[in-house]
């Protein structure tokens, strides 16, 4: 027991009797070896009047002594003096239970005490009779008979000359925390009454030791948290926690030891943790993810995951296999709920039972600091992406504006005019796709400005320096369309007296615009498909393939998906053309653009006819806005051109428009001719427009309504400037 009661195992035997107590004189500052006379009664403060109960007085004195400090060790000599008034002991000591089977000497006082209080002993070193029992005070009246010298500690106690022994347990609730003991060198020194007194003193000392333990834990917690707070300056240096993760591990190591610190993300399925960054050098055996198992699949995250020993865990969280690959035994995981998702900070140790609930406050404080950096990192990343998006939008806006101005200056009436959101969307899409080599399909009703957008794409593309070649696929019969598109060799057909390059060759290095592509016959569609797939073609009558260095932009006013179901258009060609579709809104869908377009057309037409109109009257403007414009911008331009001619330099009124003020079209077929006559070309033009409107811009049907062939219709469209 001298290791418990301050006897170091392995120390050479002393000629004199082994000492295992600390002299109360030394504890009070009296030089060792001097034994002064007992203090006179006047030196001990006692209440006046009749003597109180000595036992109660001693307990009150002990309570006052221990209440003045949080370190029982510092006042233990005073406690011994007070206890000596009611207990006839020579030595008093306190042992604390470090682990369920390990005692450590805490404090010793008494005559002939050893001056070194350090000592530890295992519970198994005591005989069964000597081992402390919760709630029971042990009394030995003759240690030489009751102790068993075959046990190391019993033997050492006997060798110290102890004959009487009183041991009271120190309790914290129902938990055994240690023992206070009293010894004497004569037999029968203690009585049953002394047992009761010793138990009462033990209760006071237990309370003092519990306060000291709680204070020590709080002090340790505060010191650990203060150490963790040193992370703040380090983390303020960066917005990317991956760059300082090793430094974080170094700072945390003294207060929360770990073999590996890792930061993980919870997968969207909440089934596994993906390793984002880890401390130390990357290890080849480091798993890229840890399965979460049942714990991770819960709707609510656990507050923490603590596994004292991986080998004894039932693998509820699924971390066992991943930890075993790394040789880890202890696991402590703290979740961090961020707007970007749940992240976990995981502490791993090679030692079993490394972590307990006492470590949660420190681990959470570390996780809070890491969360702060991750939040700042996310905000900085969002701001960076937002700034990049704003910059891209600004560059795109400048690009659209530049292309619009350039197109207006170079193409005359092919101007990109419109302020409506739907038209701005079209122009923005065209500017975006212009930079790529992607095939573009422009869809929309006839007259909505498909060629204008095609030219815009050309001007904004890397091929802007190359030619822009347009071909109306509906204006030519199959044989001529094939020759016009692919070219022909000399003698390829009757009349082919010389070789001639087709539009594909003419557009080399530039853009080929195929208008009304849905009007191609199936054989021509098959040959065009090869151009798109293989980037090569052959002239009619030719035998060698030619390279097609051209970008295709196609346009149609037909519903190609319906044409697919009806077998009128090849499905494979459709998907080759339909890489990037731009749908042009009808003019009736962007009425806010009608008057700006009318004003622009007024300027252009005035220069062409030599008589610029004075403007558009209010009722005419209202009529323009109320009309549905089945011919779209093309019909609007034709109406403005006609009205400019009729107004003879004055204001354009509703009477000059080729439709009624209520917006319905009115064919100009009248039975009575005006006195100044009519212009036959104007009447013919109106009839063609009426037929197109009735046929919903289907030119084959319009030709049938007019009683002419489709070729004759295209001739009239060209004659009246309606084929643009």
Pick from 358, 381, 404: which residue ends a domain? 381
Residue 319, pLDDT > 90, answer no
Name the residue with higher pLDDT: 405 or 260.
Answer: 260
Strands 330-338 and 305-307, how do they pair?
antiparallel
Rounded mean pLDDT, 655-659: 84
In a domain, residue 40? The reply is: no
In this predicted structure, what is the pLDDT of residue 662? 45
In this predicted structure, what is the pLDDT of residue 37? 42
In a domain, residue 180? The reply is: yes
In a domain, residue 304? The reply is: yes
Our CA dihedral for 371, 372, 375, 377, rounded to 10 degrees, sits at -110
Asked if residue 671 and residue 540 are part of one domain, the reply reads no
Asked if residue 122 and residue 56 are part of one domain, the reply reads yes
Pick from 193, 219, 245: which residue ends a domain? 219
Residues 252, 231 contacting (CB under 8 angstroms): yes
Q: Looking up tokens 């509703």, which residue turns up?
A: 654
Strand locations in 267-404 (E): 272-278, 289-291, 305-307, 330-338, 341-349
Question: Out of 217-226, 260-269, 406-415, 635-644, which region has the weakest mean confidence (pLDDT)?
Answer: 406-415
Of the CA atoms within 13 Å of residue 652, those in its CB half-sphere come to 29
**Model pTM score:** 0.45
Question: Out of 81-95, 208-222, 342-356, 416-430, which region has the weakest mean confidence (pLDDT)?
Answer: 208-222
In a domain, residue 15? The reply is: no
Write phi, then psi, for 615 (nearest 5 degrees).
Answer: 150, -170
Asked if residue 702 and residue 639 are part of one domain, the reply reads yes
How far apart CA 263 and CA 375 sit, in angstroms, is: 14
In a domain, residue 568? The reply is: yes
How far apart CA 166 and CA 536 sit, in angstroms, is: 108
Residue 413, pLDDT > 60, answer no
Of 525, 507, 412, 414, residue with least CA distance to 461: 507
Asked if residue 456 and residue 420 are part of one domain, the reply reads yes
What CATH number has the domain bearing residue 664?
Answer: 1.10.8.60
**Secondary-structure breakdown of the chain: helix, strand, coil percentages, each rounded to the nearest 5:** 45, 15, 40
How far apart CA 288 and CA 271 sit, in angstroms, is: 14
Asked if residue 176 and residue 55 are part of one domain, the reply reads yes
Pick from 171, 194, 219: which residue ends a domain? 219
How far apart CA 111 and CA 95 sit, in angstroms, is: 18
Asked if residue 132 and residue 200 are part of one domain, the reply reads yes
Name the residue with higher pLDDT: 28 or 547.
Answer: 547
What phi-psi label fits residue 559: left (phi over 0), alpha (psi between -120 and 50 degrees) or beta? beta
Q: Residue 400 to residues 156, 394, 417, 440: CA-CA distances in angstroms?
A: 98, 10, 12, 17
Residue 32, pLDDT > 60, answer no
Rounded mean pLDDT, 191-203: 92
In a domain, residue 13? The reply is: no
- Mapping DSSP onto H, E and C, the string for 271-308 reads CEEEEEEECCCCCCCCCCEEECHHHHHCCCCCCCEEEC
Residue 253, pLDDT > 60, answer yes
Q: Say how many C-beta atoms besides its own lie within 10 A of residue 195's C-beta.
A: 17
How far apart CA 149 and CA 290 sit, in angstroms, is: 55
- Highest mean pLDDT pick, 519-523, 611-615, 677-681: 519-523
Mean pLDDT of all residues belonging to the chain = 78
Name the residue with higher pLDDT: 628 or 660.
Answer: 628
Rounded mean pLDDT, 78-105: 89
Rounded mean pLDDT, 253-278: 78
Which H/E stretch holds residue 183? strand 175-184
In this predicted structure, what is the pLDDT of residue 298? 47
Sequential DSSP letters for 149-180: TTSHHHHHHHHTT--EEEEEEEEETTEEEEEE
Which H/E stretch holds residue 214? helix 192-228
In a domain, residue 673? The reply is: yes
In a domain, residue 352? The reply is: yes
* Total number of domains constituting the chain: 4
Token code pair at residue 377: 């990192």
Asked if residue 260 and residue 145 are part of one domain, the reply reads no
Beta-bridged to residue 520, according to DSSP, are none
Question: Out of 166-175, 339-348, 404-413, 705-714, which region has the weakest mean confidence (pLDDT)?
Answer: 404-413
How far apart CA 654 and CA 639 sit, in angstroms, is: 11
Asked if residue 172 and residue 80 are part of one domain, the reply reads yes
Q: Looking up tokens 């001298």, which residue turns up?
A: 2
At 290, the pLDDT band (50, 70, 90 cuts) reads: low
In this predicted structure, what is the pLDDT of residue 368? 81
Q: Residue 24 to residues 77, 80, 93: CA-CA distances in angstroms?
A: 6, 8, 12
What CATH number has the domain bearing residue 241?
Answer: 3.30.450.40
What CATH number has the domain bearing residue 464?
Answer: 3.40.50.300
Rounded mean pLDDT, 271-289: 70
- Highest mean pLDDT pick, 238-252, 276-290, 538-552, 601-615: 538-552
The parent domain of residue 452 ranges over 412-583
Asked if residue 560 and residue 657 are part of one domain, the reply reads no
Strands 440-443 and 551-556, how do they pair?
parallel
At 556, the pLDDT band (50, 70, 90 cuts) reads: very high
Asked if residue 241 and residue 210 are part of one domain, the reply reads no
Asked if residue 256 and residue 126 are part of one domain, the reply reads no
Asked if residue 608 and residue 498 are part of one domain, the reply reads no
């Amino acid at each position: 027991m001298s290791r418990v009661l301050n006897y170091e195992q392995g120390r050479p035997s002393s000629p004199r009797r082994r000492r295992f107590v600390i002299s109360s004189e030394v504890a009070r500052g009296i030089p060792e070896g001097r034994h002064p006379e007992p203090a006179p009664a006047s030196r001990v403060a006692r209440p006046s009047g009749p003597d109180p109960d000595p036992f109660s007085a001693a307990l009150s004195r002990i309570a006052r002594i221990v209440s003045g400090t949080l370190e029982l060790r510092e006042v233990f000599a005073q406690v011994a003096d007070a206890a000596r008034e009611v207990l006839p002991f020579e030595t008093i000591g306190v042992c604390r239970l470090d682990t369920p089977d390990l005692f450590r000497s805490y404090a010793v006082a008494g005559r002939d005490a050893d001056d070194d209080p350090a000592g530890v002993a295992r519970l198994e070193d005591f005989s069964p009779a000597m081992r402390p029992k919760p709630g029971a005070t042990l009394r030995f009246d003759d240690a030489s008979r009751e102790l068993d010298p075959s046990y190391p500690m019993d033997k050492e106690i006997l060798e110290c000359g102890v004959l009487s022994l009183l041991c009271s347990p120190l309790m914290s609730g129902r938990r055994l925390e240690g023992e206070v003991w009293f010894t004497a060198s004569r037999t029968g020194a203690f009585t049953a009454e002394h047992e009761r007194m010793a138990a009462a003193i033990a209760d006071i000392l237990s309370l003092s030791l519990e306060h000291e333990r709680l204070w020590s834990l709080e002090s340790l917690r505060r010191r650990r948290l203060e150490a963790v707070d040193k992370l703040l300056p380090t983390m303020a240096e960066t917005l990317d926690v991956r760059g300082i993760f090793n430094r974080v591990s170094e700072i945390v190591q003294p207060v929360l030891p770990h073999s590996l610190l890792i930061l993980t993300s919870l997968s969207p399925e909440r089934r596994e943790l993906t390793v984002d960054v880890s401390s130390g050098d990357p290890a080849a055996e480091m798993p890229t993810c840890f399965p979460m198992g049942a714990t991770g699949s819960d709707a609510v995250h656990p507050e923490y995951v603590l596994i004292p020993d991986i080998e004894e865990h039932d693998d509820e969280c699924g971390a066992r296999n991943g930890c075993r690959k790394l040789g880890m035994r202890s696991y402590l995981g703290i979740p961090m709920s961020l707007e970007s998702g749940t992240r976990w900070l995981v502490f791993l140790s090679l030692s079993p039972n490394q972590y307990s609930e006492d470590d949660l406050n420190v681990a959470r404080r570390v996780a809070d600091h890491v969360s702060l950096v991750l939040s700042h990192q996310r905000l900085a990343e969002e701001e960076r992406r937002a700034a990049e998006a704003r910059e891209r939008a600004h560059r795109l806006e400048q690009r659209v504006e530049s292309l619009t101005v350039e197109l207006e200056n170079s193409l005359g009436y092919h101007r990109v005019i419109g302020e409506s959101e739907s038209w701005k969307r079209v122009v923005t899409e065209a500017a975006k796709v212009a930079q790529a080599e992607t095939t573009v399909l422009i869809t929309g009703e006839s007259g909505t400005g498909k060629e204008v957008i095609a030219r815009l794409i050309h001007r904004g593309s890397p091929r802007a320096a190359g030619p822009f070649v347009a071909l109306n696929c509906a204006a030519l019969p199959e044989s001529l369309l094939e020759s016009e598109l692919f070219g022909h060799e000399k003698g390829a057909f009757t009349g082919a007296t010389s070789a001639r390059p087709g539009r594909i060759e003419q557009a080399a290095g530039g853009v080929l615009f195929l208008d009304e592509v849905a009007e191609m016959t199936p054989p021509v569609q098959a040959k065009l498909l090869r151009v798109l797939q293989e980037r090569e073609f052959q002239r009619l009558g030719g035998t060698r393939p030619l390279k097609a260095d051209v970008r295709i932009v196609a346009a149609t006013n037909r519903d190609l998906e319906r044409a697919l179901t009806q077998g009128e258009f090849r499905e494979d060609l459709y998907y080759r053309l339909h890489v990037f579709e731009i749908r042009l809104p009808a003019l009736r869908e962007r009425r806010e653009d009608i008057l700006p377009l009318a004003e622009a057309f007024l300027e252009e037409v005035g220069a062409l006819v030599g008589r610029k109109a004075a403007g558009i009257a209010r009722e005419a403007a209202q009529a323009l806005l109320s009309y549905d414009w089945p011919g779209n911008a093309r019909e609007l331009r034709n109406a403005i051109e006609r009205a400019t001619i009729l107004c003879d330099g004055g204001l354009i009124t509703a009477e000059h428009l080729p439709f009624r003020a209520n917006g319905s079209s009115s064919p100009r077929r009248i039975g009575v001719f005006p006195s100044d006559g009519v212009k036959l070309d104007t009447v013919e033009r109106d009839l063609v427009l009426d037929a197109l409107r009735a046929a919903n811009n289907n030119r084959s049907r319009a030709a049938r309504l007019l009683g002419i062939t489709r070729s004759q219709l295209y001739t009239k469209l060209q004659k009246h400037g309606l084929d643009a």
